[in-house]
Amino acid sequence: MSRLSLSRAWDESKAIFVRDGALLTAVALALLVLPEIVAGVVSPPAVASQSAGGRLLALAMAFVGVIGQLAIVRLAIGPSTTVGQAIAHGARRFPATLGALMLLVLAMGIIIIPLLVALLMAGIIATPVAGQAPPPSFSTALLVIVIAALFVAVKFIMTVPVASAEAAGPLTILKRSWKLTSGVYWGLFGVELLLLVAALALLLSAQFVGGGIAAALGQIEAFSVSALVLSAFMGVAQGVFTVLASVMLARIYVQLGGRGEGVGEVFR
């Protein structure tokens, strides 16, 4: 296993942005930004959280976003290809990727739900009441779970790069990610934290600026100009973050024994 070099991964990522920036932008606009705008206009967040149709639309757009990530990883690993071919590749690898993600969610549910039920029944944490603020003990338990999930998530941070680069099934994708992250856990944990900070900064900035402009244009409701403005800001922010994170993780994947080419070979 080669030693993880974040500076090398970042330098390669910057080179890819310069070389294939137009291709990455095209994929991001088609599969990340546009779906977010459509979902935001048709069913703004306040409406989507209360509507079954809105939740289904948000789920569908999330699936499209996963295809976009797979396509971006394909472009970042090489060899060079077209936007259409990268998107087609992402669509082909989507079922296996979805299966891997569902396995992760299922495993989390099997562990977390019985644990919460046991703590509630034992009286260690108080039962939340609908319409009221969650009890401090319940909020603390959720915070501990979230923190624990962040530590576990590092072992599966290579899931999307593996799914895009290798012809593997759902379980093999997760096992491969676990293996690739062995020996470089804390370096990848740092990457995870940096990406989390970047995501929060981008999304909060988009929410603040876009939300302010949208509020000035009127109430945010379905098919309104204000909903269009807010969703456009949020879509661009998510697109920028996803491209940045996907390319960076793709180049880290190559370092950790991936099958992709080195950046010099990609650019030949």
Asked whether the predicted pLDDT for residue 136 surpasses 70, the reply is: yes
Long-range contacts of 176-184 (CB under 8 A, 24+ apart): 180/253, 180/256, 180/257, 180/258, 181/154, 181/155, 181/156, 181/157, 181/256, 182/1, 183/1, 184/1, 184/3, 184/4, 184/256
Paired tokens of 158 = 């290579």
Which pLDDT belongs to residue 260?
A: 44
Nearest Cα neighbor of 97 from 159, 11, 180 is 159
Q: At what angle do helices 225-255 and 52-77 cross, to 10 degrees?
A: 40
| Share above pLDDT 70 across residues of the chain, in percent, rounded to a whole number | 93
Reported confidence tier of residue 105, pLDDT bands at 50, 70, 90: very high
Which pLDDT belongs to residue 265?
A: 39
Asked whether the predicted pLDDT for residue 93 surpasses 90, the reply is: yes
Which pLDDT belongs to residue 17?
A: 94
Asked whether the predicted pLDDT for residue 47 surpasses 50, the reply is: yes
Which pLDDT belongs to residue 174?
A: 96
* 119 burial type by CB count under 10 A (0-12 exposed, 13-18 middle, 19+ buried): middle
Name the DSSP letter for residue 125: S
Could you give the angle at the alpha carbon of 257 between the alpha carbons of 84 and 19, nearest 5°? 40
Asked whether the predicted pLDDT for residue 42 surpasses 50, the reply is: yes
Nearest Cα neighbor of 16 from 68, 70, 79, 69 is 79
Which pLDDT belongs to residue 262?
A: 40
State which amino acid sits at residue 20: D
195 Cβ contact partners less than 8 Å away, ≥ 6 residues apart: 241, 245, 248
Asked whether the predicted pLDDT for residue 261 surpasses 70, the reply is: no
Which pLDDT belongs to residue 3?
A: 75
Compute the average pLDDT of residues 253-265. Answer: 62
Could you give the angle at the alpha carbon of 102 between the alpha carbons of 96 and 171, nearest 5°? 50
Q: Helix (H) and strand (E) counts for the chain?
A: 11, 0
Asked whether the predicted pLDDT for residue 119 surpasses 90, the reply is: no
Which pLDDT belongs to residue 21?
A: 92
* 172 burial type by CB count under 10 A (0-12 exposed, 13-18 middle, 19+ buried): middle
Distance in angstroms (rounded) separating the CA atoms of residues 232 and 40: 8
Asked whether the predicted pLDDT for residue 1 surpasses 90, the reply is: no
Which pLDDT belongs to residue 263?
A: 36
**66-70, 89-93, 135-139: range with lowest mean pLDDT:** 135-139
Reported confidence tier of residue 49, pLDDT bands at 50, 70, 90: low
Q: Whole-number mean pLDDT of the chain?
A: 88
Compute the average pLDDT of residues 244-251. Answer: 96
Asked whether the predicted pLDDT for residue 268 surpasses 80, the reply is: no
